[in-house]
Structure 1
């Protein structure tokens, strides 16, 4: 496949996505990162069902339980926002990585590179953004700031989403 063929992969079905915000302080009204992720997904005709959006506290068990619920519902893609830094309360990565069948190392590497080059400079090294597969499903974990969500969605996730799902399900 050429580069354009990879980017232009068409699926014969709708993509089911979920957005999980990890925060001790956010509410649906103040969740700028999660709401931006939903908005950017809608630009590629991916709608988030109300039951596929949630906010959980920075608690490893709560994060894991919500992810496992959506994975059992056969959601194709889960995007988590928040909890990816190095603070004591940042445990999203610790909840996500044990669930992964395969880590997509290039996602975190590219995210940090682009964050460094285009957004936050050397502060990018604090990000532990990760992506991977769970069977035929994808999980992307990104920082909760709107800049990070916008960068991850527009530069990495949206351009490759159909291709990633195609590869997982062929």
Structure 2
């Protein structure tokens, strides 16, 4: 192993995860982004209990209340999809950042870089994807499109999730 090679740990337990979709129009049947996040998480050592999936309206109070409920439970990580743009109704980032202890700036930076490089181009600057910690828990907020969810999950979240939780809880 070279000095620059990073070794990822794999936890000896399942990661408890919650998925929150923020949308005024989605239902569990039409929630492509949230359902894709759940599907991709099922490929690694993650458990999502039925009560740890929800859809809430683009409303800061509703988002904050759902996040606080899950943060009070035995959840290691929360993934939010949707509500990350710059429209007046997009308030997911405001709700999430108001709860964070530490922001993981590199997540948003890398997400926008990869989005720009892969296919979004300069429109990537509109993304306000963010991640951070609340005590020993993680929150990732990504846009709701399936392309954005796939990119965030496969390129950033899944490869590092075990390591991030290990670092938070050691």
Q: Which interval holds the TM-score relative to the shorter structure?
A: over 0.9
Residue 46 of structure 1, CA deviation: 1.4
Q: Distance in 2 between matches of 1:63 and 1:57?
A: 8
Runs of 5+ unmatched residues, structure 1? none
Runs of 5+ unmatched residues, structure 2? none
SS of the aligned residue for 2:29 comes to coil
Change (3 A) 1:59 1:116: same
Q: CA-atom RMSD, angstroms?
A: 1.6
- State the TM-score, normalized to the length of structure 2: 0.96
SS of the aligned residue for 1:5 comes to coil
> Cα deviation per residue 1:115-169 (whole Å; 9 max; x = unaligned)?
0000211110000000000000000000000000000000000000000000000
- State the TM-score, normalized to the length of structure 1: 0.96
Residue 12 of structure 1, CA deviation: 2.1
Mapped contact 1:119–1:147 kept (Cα < 8 A): no
Q: Distance in 2 between matches of 1:164 and 1:2?
A: 21
Mapped contact 1:107–1:131 kept (Cα < 8 A): yes
How many residues are matched?
170
Structure 1 runs, 4 residues or longer, greater than 6 Å off: 1-5
Q: Distance in 2 between matches of 1:60 and 1:169?
A: 29
Larger helix fraction of residues: 1
